[in-house]
Structure 1
Amino acid sequence: MRVVIIDENNFITYHITKFLINKKWKVKILTNTINRNLYKDFSNIEIETVDFKNANDGKLISLFKDYDYLLYGDSIDYNKTLKKPVINSLRIEIVEQTRRFIEIAKRAGIKKIVFLGSFYTYFDKTLPKLKLSKHHPLIKVRNEQLNLILKYKNEIEIVNLEIPHLFGKGPVMEKTNSYIIEETLLSQAIFLPKGGSTFITPNQLNKAIYGAFKYGENGCSYPLAGTNITWEELIDIISKTAIQEQQIYTIPTKLAKVGMKKKLKNHKNHGLESVLNPIKYIDFQSRYTYIEKEISMDKLRYKAEDAKKAIKESVKQYLRKENKNE
């Protein structure tokens, strides 16, 4: 099979490209930010540097031609702050880009699109009391994106993956992982709310993407299950892997919000807005946002793996990088 990949997350792109090439697929990567050296030993691959904002539709259609599938992800940084109102920028960057690539894929004869979405859309449905879309611009726009995607199911075959936290080793670090590990190791004492979430490995994501192309039902959105880990367990894994003793304190949700108020005030003073409201996010973070295995594993045909081991590998990679920079 032949697949076009558009995703600015080099961590995901590298892993899925390697996986699909091993399956004897032909891969074409379209990107404006890529380290070509990562792929120098790969065969059956094309890499095109594309300025998507300035490339006309005709150019993109020609790049999609003769390919069966499209894998698309926009890779928005969840720690991002932008000029207010942030939702306008997000709609252009996420919703309008998604609409454009679906239309181009249709015209180019692509048979199926798999989108790399976020588990936030899943929990917006399953935790309605938190009103995630109301409080978080990114989650509101992710829902708009998902609604747009599903509207096209009668015109082109479409599947969406709702991806949780991703840890693992690779030639590049996953951006969010670096941030979490760095923040943890810079602190002598960690204060965090109760709660936890689902974590997956690169291999699980690879197999879920492959399963989405091969077995995913048109018009379906699959929340990806993995290993359920509490925040206290996560911090403990990071600290012990780095051989760094830290005190971990679980604090009430109200107290956890106190530190975020200063952050929010600083954003407002500079005319900025966070894609995720830092105060309201504590309400989400203090839940046990776990995804049940039956929802996706059976249908996409991927299996349970040890995400705790993947977290350890991420920490070791981060430490190697830091030691190299010293």
Structure 2
Amino acid sequence: MSGVRTLVLGGSGLIGAHVVDVLRERGHAAVTAGRSAGDHRLDVRSATAEQLRAVLAGCDGVVMATRTDEQRPLPKPVYPALRRDMVEPVVRLFAAARAEGVSSGVLMGSYYTYFDRLHPEWRLAERHPYVRCRLEQAREGRAAGVPVAVLELPFVFGRAGDRLPNWAGPLDRWARSRFPLTAPPGGTAVTTARHVAEAAVDALESRSDADIPVADENLTWAEMIGRIAAAAGRPRAVRRLPAAVVRAALRGGGAVQRASRKESGVDPSHLAGLLLAELFVEPVTGRPVDAAIRESFSSR
């Protein structure tokens, strides 16, 4: 696969912008679409099949790099709203892609689906509507018959212009403050936007239909927060937060949501089990992430 044309939905975002760069570096043409920027103005969540076919015309590949805020509380039940925003657009997109002769696609997913396969006893899809929708995205998107690779992403560091990880702002303010830094037990896999983009283009070029976990390093929460503080110019020790405190705080958050008749895609009542676990992906690439952490949190 060389010199082909790919539509990147969310091409002005953090990951999408890097995907566009890698495509062009490898000699491919990239067309972008997004709600507020891009070659085409298009909200994939509400776009019709006809609108999707129009922007896919002449394309050989498609990458969906839009994002979903799984933490935002919504009126109960949250699942129908998440399915409408996450799953139904994917179904329409890949049906349109097949009709236009698109030969490969990539979805940006979550490493929660990796852990759902690895640890079925965690019952992630049952407990968290967001994880359920991620699994349905992959299954129903592939049903159209186009090879679709799903990149299962952990925390992603980096920047593209003024685009930063959506969770970077609160952590940046905390790291620069005079408040103590604390972290629970457990940890997470991490990667960079550039490495995600390279994995996406690799998948397009090979017409992969695999679930592909992407991870460069596994860090404890204390290690990650410590590196962020150093990048922000306020290096200091990170104190251990007792697991019991984490469980109590998240149970309280779940109770508040229930009292307000709201839900989020990741249920706070069951989130402690994730935060206190080692959300580590194996194998990791071993590629360094420090430069991308500095891009995300250094003084701007």
Give the TM-score taking structure 1 as reference length.
0.83
Report deviation, 1:207.
1.1
% identical equivalent positions: 22
**1:147-186 alignment, distance < 5 Å:** 147-152=139-144, 155-171=145-161, 172-186=163-177
Equivalent positions of 1:190-205 (< 5 A) are: 190-205=181-196
Q: Which runs of structure 2 are paired with 1:278-293 in the superposition (5 Å)? A: 278-293=268-283
Q: How does 1:248-267 map to 2 (within 5 A)?
A: 248-267=238-257
Tell me whether 176-185 or 199-208 shows the greater mean CA deviation: 176-185
1:13 is aligned to: 16
Match of 1:206 in 2: 197
CA-to-aligned-CA distance 1:189-212 (integer Å, 9 cap, x gap): 233321111111122112101111
- Contact kept? 1:192, 1:251, Cα under 8 Å: yes
- Correspondence 1:314 to 2:296: yes
The answer on 1:64 being equivalent to 2:56 is yes
Q: Secondary structure of the equivalent of 1:258? A: helix
SS of alignment partner, residue 175 of structure 1: coil
Given residue 205 of structure 2, which amino acid in structure 1 is its aligned partner?
K
Whole-angstrom distance in 1 between the partners of 2:80 and 2:26: 40
Give secondary structure in 2 for the equivalent of 1:78: coil
Change in 2 beyond 3 A, CA 1:217/1:252 = same
1:234 counterpart (215, 224, 241): 224
- The worse-fitting range, judged by mean Cα deviation, of 168-177 and 104-113 is 168-177
Structure 2 match to 1:100: 92
When normalised by structure 2's length, the TM-score is 0.90
| Structure 1 pair 211–99 and aligned structure 2 pair: CA distance change class (3 A) | same
Query: How far does residue 245 in structure 1 lie from its aligned partner after superposition?
Result: 5.2
Aligned mates of 2:91, 2:133 — CA distance in 1? 13
Q: Aligned match of 1:140 in 132, 138, 144?
A: 132
1:269 to 2:272 alignment:
no
Question: Cα 1:48–1:156, aligned 2, differ >3 Å: closer, same or farther?
Answer: same
Contact 1:74 1:94 in 2 (8 A): no
Q: Report if the CA contact (8 A) 2:188-2:220 is conserved.
A: yes
Residue deviations 1:278-306, cap 9 Å, x none?
Answer: 23112111111111137xxxxxxxx5421
1:131 maps to which of 123, 126, 129: 123
Q: Which has the higher helix share?
A: 1
Alpha-carbon distance, 1:187 to partner:
6.4
Q: Distance in 2 between matches of 1:181 and 1:213?
A: 34
- Shift in CA distance, 243/65, structure 1 to aligned 2, threshold 3 Å: closer
1:141-160 CA distance string (max 9 Å, x none):
111222223434xx222211
Shift of 1:183: 4.2
One-letter amino acid matched to 2:294: K
Structure 1 SS opposite 2:167: helix
- The yes-or-no answer on 1:117 pairing with 2:109 is yes
- Aligned counterparts of 1:184 and 1:271: Cα–Cα separation in 2: 33
Residue type of the partner of 1:221? D
- Structure 1: how far apart are the matches of 2:283 and 2:290? 17
Relative to structure 1, is the Cα distance of residues 85 and 184 closer, same or farther in structure 2, using a 3 angstrom cutoff? Answer: farther
State how far apart, in whole Å, the 1-side matches of 2:70 and 2:47 are.
27
Aligned equivalents of 2:259 and 2:67: distance in 1?
A: 27
* Count of residue correspondences: 296
Q: Which AA in structure 1 matches 2:16?
A: T
Deviates more, 1:244-253 or 1:72-81: 244-253
Q: Given residue 7 of structure 2, which amino acid in structure 1 is its aligned partner?
A: V
Structure 1 spans left out of the alignment, 5+ residues:
37-46, 295-302, 321-326
> Measured at CA, do residues 54 and 264 of structure 1 come closer, stay the same or move farther in structure 2, by a change above 3 Å?
closer
